[in-house]
Amino acid sequence: MRGMQKDVTDQLIEWFTEHGRDLPWREPGTSAWAILVCEAVRKFVCEALI
């Protein structure tokens, strides 16, 4: 069972290396609070424009 788990883990890491998106909260030194505030403001601004 361990061998199968390692295979799946390796496949997931390989997939993420190829297809993973760069997201703001993955950057070193990024404040989770700042991202939350920015996303909330963006949502309200977009709704206000509609």
Residue 18's identity, in one-letter code, is: E
Residue 24: name the closest of 33, 13, 14, 15 by CA. Answer: 33
- Which pLDDT does position 48 carry in this prediction? 67
Q: What is the pLDDT of residues 3-44, one digit of tens each?
A: 677 789 999 999 999 998 887 777 888 888 888 888 888 888
- Is residue 35 within 8 A of residue 25, CB to CB? The reply is yes
**pTM for the whole thing?**
0.45
Please give the pLDDT value at position 21: 85
pLDDT of residue 19: 92
pLDDT surpassing 60 at residue 1: no
What per-residue confidence (pLDDT) applies to 17?
92
